[in-house]
Structure 1
Amino acid sequence: MSFKRRRFLIIGGLTGLGLAVFGKQVLRPGQSTTATTPEVPPLQVATPTGQPLLRFAAIADTGSGDRNQFAVGKAMVQHRDRNPYDLVVLAGDNIYNSGEMSRIQVAFEEPYQKLLQAGVKFRACLGNHDIRTENGDPQVRYTGFNMQGRFYSYKAEAAQFFVLDTNGNADWKGQMAWLEQELSQSQALWKVVYGHHPIYSSGHYGTDSGFVKLFTPLFKKYRVQLYINGHEHDYERSQPIDGTTYLVTGIGGATLRPVGKSSWTAASTSRFGFSAIELYRDRLFIQGIGTDNTVFDQGMVPV
């Protein structure tokens, strides 16, 4: 790989920090550009029936250790009582403010104590705050986050999950080669990718044009149906874009930020909560659930 290409990959990861380089444009909430806001048709939503193949929850920007995070954790327990699940996607910034493991109890073990005691498995990736302490290595080693490296994949029922390190100092050359190989070999009905930083977003940081160019051709080629991220402290669900739905779920406890809408936005809001996701044979069902246990958004993704 040429030096120029390596430089693009590294800087592409930095765009999540709000840097305007290599043609990236940071968008204000609701702002868009022709290159990053493809027109998509509205998706009709119908509540699915029958038992799902898999249920899981997704949260990000969680590790505040304050009452908001505890309220989200309580809502997740109450939802699980009605709709059992055993997996939580933890999409980065797991410990505020600097990923220090001295806060692991208040930022993770206490807010999700009942879930952990029930055997629910959290699968984490690293956020930009997490790498402030020893580059995130202590979190990679922490058994409660079930990480198999800085990027890794795992299977659950009919789904395969591909977990990314989207930070600027990631091993971009190795990671992108790994991702394409893993996607090309996957026979899973559902392919879900997650990392901390957004690809499409109407929030504070906006759509990342570098990541759009880097990831979306692979997602389209290998039929990735869902990408999950945080970093934006809001909730936003896109319409399917070339077959992929983009879900921002950075509402797990950190201070909220405003979010706008783009032409491809199906729903967006700023309120604490989490995403509940069900996989069926022919569709994927997403719900946004608040700390008051109300469903504030729901949408369907075709297989």
Structure 2
Amino acid sequence: MKKLLLAIIISLNLSFACGQVTPFEFEKQTGYKGNNIPDLTYLEDSYSFLVLGDFGRVGDYFQQDVARELGHATIVLDAEFIVSVGDNFYPNGVASTTDYHWISSFESVYKDPSLYRDWYVALGNHDYRGNVQAQIDYANVSRRWNMPARYYSKTFEINDNEKMLLIVMDTNPYIESYHENPEKYNGVAEQDTAKQTKWLVEQLKTDDPQIKWKIVVGHHPLYSGGKRKDSDDTKLFEKRFADLFDEHQVDAYICGHEHDLQIIKPKGRFTTQFLSGAASEVRETGRREGTIFSAAEPGFMTFSIQGSKMLVQTVRANETGAKVLHTYELAK
């Protein structure tokens, strides 16, 4: 019996290696009980990750639906990791590493076996209403929760010759209106933005010739066609960072804060912004100059790198299942 089981596993592995089955088909053959997302494109030998944001609502709103389909997408794309763009816990963050919010809004919601891989997490404004240090310290509790500091970076090997640089910012201290209400945003006034900006520039100026893709993650958008389209906070954030990202050829700026799905690249800009903030609550959205896509739908985005292109797929996830609403390709 053991020899037969071993033969079956070897056969499945050989079939997968030869490209005869997709990651989803392989997992189903080995016992996975989740569903496929048929219109989600899997690129063979690609390097993939998923992005969601603004999620922590005790499984209410659309959070359970998005979590279910996020798990399915992770299997379909054989994704390496997951990125959260912040506002991880509503309305007021967490108090400690033992706050029940960790169970009710994270551990018991994102329970598909595929989601037990690395999460790289940013801080949102609602996280600043609680204990930020507790979210950093939770990395010592959870194997999958990665937040070594308020801002950090990590380099990933895409293949033998190419790497991707992922920079996770803490955008909250740059939002000037938060400094007018320091009691609401705990500790935001004490953060040294000059120090963070210097660090950011040093990261972006990397001289590693193998880094082919530069991706920056933050909570607040550079641009929006939604609720904060004309907000002073948005305009000032754009003024502070849009030129900097272009100068250092950041391929993608990934953010949330708006509870919708948007892709924006204003005329003349190098960096494309991908806004994925619809992992639980959804609000009406709109368009602005440079809008490529926008939707007031619950969901997330997937990123797949294959050679000189990055395929971004925007996925709606609700009670009926998942559907790809839009695909966009970045080319080097």
Q: Does 1:210 align with 2:208?
A: no
- Corresponding position of 1:162: 167
- Corresponding position of 2:199: 178
Q: Which ranges in structure 1 are unaligned for 5 or more consecutive residues? A: 1-46
- Corresponding position of 1:129: 126
Moved more, 215-224 or 47-56: 47-56
Deviations 1:180-215 (A, max 9, x none): 001101531010001111111111112622122211
Question: How far apart are 1:50 and its partner, in Å?
Answer: 4.8
Distance 1:50 1:287 in 2: 12
1:183 corresponds to which letter in structure 2? L
Residues 53 and 138 (structure 1), Cα distance of their counterparts in 2 relative to 1, 3 Å cut:
same
- Corresponding position of 1:64: 57
Q: Does 1:102 align with 2:100?
A: yes
Is the Cα contact below 8 Å between 1:85 and 1:120 reproduced in 2?
A: no
Distance 1:65 1:122 in 2: 18
Residues 215 and 186 (structure 1), Cα distance of their counterparts in 2 relative to 1, 3 Å cut:
farther
Is the Cα contact below 8 Å between 1:163 and 1:195 reproduced in 2?
A: yes
1:174 corresponds to which letter in structure 2? K
Distance 1:295 1:239 in 2: 20
- Corresponding position of 1:248: 275
Determine which structure has more spread, i.e. the larger CA radius of gyration: 2
For normalisation by structure 1, the TM-score amounts to 0.79
Residues 49 and 128 (structure 1), Cα distance of their counterparts in 2 relative to 1, 3 Å cut:
closer
Deviations 1:32-80 (A, max 9, x none): xxxxxxxxxxxxxxx9885354100000001012242111111011122
Residues 96 and 71 (structure 1), Cα distance of their counterparts in 2 relative to 1, 3 Å cut:
same
2:108 corresponds to which letter in structure 1? E
Distance 1:268 1:203 in 2: 9
Q: Does 1:139 align with 2:168?
A: no
1:137 corresponds to which letter in structure 2? Q
Tell me the SS of whatever aligns to 2:54: coil
Question: How far apart are 1:149 and its partner, in Å?
Answer: 0.5
Question: How far apart are 1:115 and its partner, in Å?
Answer: 4.2
- Corresponding position of 2:312: 286
Question: How many residues are aligned here?
Answer: 254
Residues 269 and 48 (structure 1), Cα distance of their counterparts in 2 relative to 1, 3 Å cut:
closer
Is the Cα contact below 8 Å between 2:301 and 2:312 reproduced in 1?
A: yes
> Where do 4+ consecutive residues of structure 1 move more than 3 Å?
47-50
Is the Cα contact below 8 Å between 2:47 and 2:80 reproduced in 1?
A: no
Question: How far apart are 1:280 and its partner, in Å?
Answer: 2.0
Q: Does 1:220 align with 2:263?
A: no
Question: How far apart are 1:263 and its partner, in Å?
Answer: 2.1
Query: Relative CO higher for 1 or 2, CA cutoff 8 Å, sep ≥ 6?
Result: 1
Residues 165 and 189 (structure 1), Cα distance of their counterparts in 2 relative to 1, 3 Å cut:
same
For normalisation by structure 2, the TM-score amounts to 0.72
1:188-199 to 2 correspondence within 5 Å?
188-199=211-222
Tell me the SS of whatever aligns to 1:93: coil
- Corresponding position of 1:295: 324
Tell me the SS of whatever aligns to 2:204: helix
Is the Cα contact below 8 Å between 1:273 and 1:288 reproduced in 2?
A: yes
Is the Cα contact below 8 Å between 1:54 and 1:156 reproduced in 2?
A: no
Distance 2:229 2:329 in 1: 24
Is the Cα contact below 8 Å between 1:52 and 1:278 reproduced in 2?
A: no
Is the Cα contact below 8 Å between 2:42 and 2:77 reproduced in 1?
A: no
Distance 2:79 2:265 in 1: 25
1:146-157 to 2 correspondence within 5 Å?
146-157=146-157
Residues 50 and 58 (structure 1), Cα distance of their counterparts in 2 relative to 1, 3 Å cut:
closer
Moved more, 221-230 or 136-145: 136-145
Q: CA RMSD in A?
A: 1.9
1:221 corresponds to which letter in structure 2? E
